[in-house]
A = this chain, B = another copy of it.
């Protein structure tokens, strides 16, 4: 008997950006759209996971998973909030996968979301910094400053041109123009990136993702159940998570994110696929330098060479061999913390079910990499089109 695989049969995301809505509204919006997308009735939902880092800190509201189940008419479905900081969305995919693979649920709704823009940039940065080690953040080190130091090290050590980082931003913004849900649907040119204000030298404003409100949803079930709803679905072929040192300065090589390496290897092993089999990938480009580190950690490029692939257009959407961040990435789509990993999954699902519209590429196997903290925890998910 072949084991029943875990399928994804529905996906949705809200518009990302500055939204006049609270976390409760955002979660419900994506949840309802996902049920409608799949044609599954609320009564069929056994488990409902909510990926969210900090609704308590951002807006003083807890219990959002129970509220969502109530608002969507899912009762008595089991609910739980999943927090793995900025990789909460990927962790939600993993929780949903386990709920189906263990037999605990036959239909699991995952909704990830965050409401952030009502707070100042300083307040949001402080809330996000509190997920790093107090020995670091209490001395003023925030995630952008880690990114700046890492970028400087990478560029000097591997003799990479500053422009290669900027080209990540240019590429992802270009892809985002075709994503109706993206926060910034506008192209930026190289000069704009290179002349934007310095944030953490050498990184400038356009090397960073924005602060965003939004949510995204996916619906999971066993493949045997999926077949009764649709012919167009995706399979989660491999998924794994890994943790790196919580104190970033303890890592032996600042250009190696061990959480990426370990979660990638485990996900490849479970799926039976390797780096060469991946047709499309969504990587966690919270900062442009992170796209390089994930490309190398996942085996798409040797250490210190990811920038060459970007320079050569290998990761371009319409002409490249391995399109990366066809959705626009966190860079142009936005980064509502708990939503981002789920939205990565939405993009890969759409690519594998041929519903990505103007962003569509030719893909049978896709990968998402969702990074929490500064690589403190990472989830890699590999999906394939149903056959």
A80 touches B91 (CB 8 A): yes
Any B CB within 8 A of the CB of A181? no
Fill in one digit per residue for A56-69: 1 if any B CB lies within 8 Å of its CB, else 0: 11001111011101
Q: Give the residues in chain B near A356, CB-CB below 8 Å.
A: none
Q: Give the residues in chain B near A357, CB-CB below 8 Å.
A: none
Q: Which A230-266 residues have a C-beta within 8 angstroms of B?
A: 240-247, 258-259, 262-263
A243 touches B75 (CB 8 A): yes
Any B CB within 8 A of the CB of A79? yes
CA A241 to CA B104, docked complex, whole Å: 10
B131 touches A77 (CB 8 A): no
Q: Give the residues in chain B near A57, CB-CB below 8 Å.
A: 56-57, 62
Q: Which A119-170 residues have a C-beta within 8 angstroms of B?
A: 127, 130-134
Number of copies: 2
Any B CB within 8 A of the CB of A283? no
Any B CB within 8 A of the CB of A83? yes
Partner of A243, one of B61, B79, B246: B79
Q: With CB as the reference atom, state the residue of chain B lying closest to A60.
A: B130
CA A63 to CA B4, docked complex, whole Å: 34
Q: Give the residues in chain B near A97, CB-CB below 8 Å.
A: 102, 104
Partner of A242, one of B76, B82, B104: B76
B130 touches A78 (CB 8 A): no
Any B CB within 8 A of the CB of A346? no
B76 touches A63 (CB 8 A): no
Q: Give the residues in chain B near A259, CB-CB below 8 Å.
A: 76
Any B CB within 8 A of the CB of A179? no
Partner of A246, one of B70, B91, B130: B70
CA A67 to CA B84, docked complex, whole Å: 11
Q: Which of A192-200, A289-297, A318-326, A369-377 contacts B (4 or more CB under 8 A)?
A: A369-377
CA A58 to CA B134, docked complex, whole Å: 15
CA A101 to CA B102, docked complex, whole Å: 5
Q: Which A13-48 residues have a C-beta within 8 angstroms of B?
A: 24, 48
Nearest-Cβ distance from residue A143 to partner chain B, whole angstroms: 11
Partner of A63, one of B101, B102, B132: B132
Q: Give the residues in chain B near A263, CB-CB below 8 Å.
A: 76, 78
CA A104 to CA B266, docked complex, whole Å: 10
Any B CB within 8 A of the CB of A315? no
Any B CB within 8 A of the CB of A94? yes
CA A24 to CA B66, docked complex, whole Å: 27
Q: Give the residues in chain B near A82, CB-CB below 8 Å.
A: 80-83
Fill in one digit per residue for A166-201: 1 if any B CB lies within 8 Å of its CB, else 0: 000000000000000000000000000000000000
Give chain A's interface residues, CB within 8 Å of chain B. 24, 48, 53-54, 56-57, 60-63, 65-67, 69-71, 74-85, 91, 94-95, 97-104, 127, 130-134, 240-247, 258-259, 262-263, 372-373, 376-377
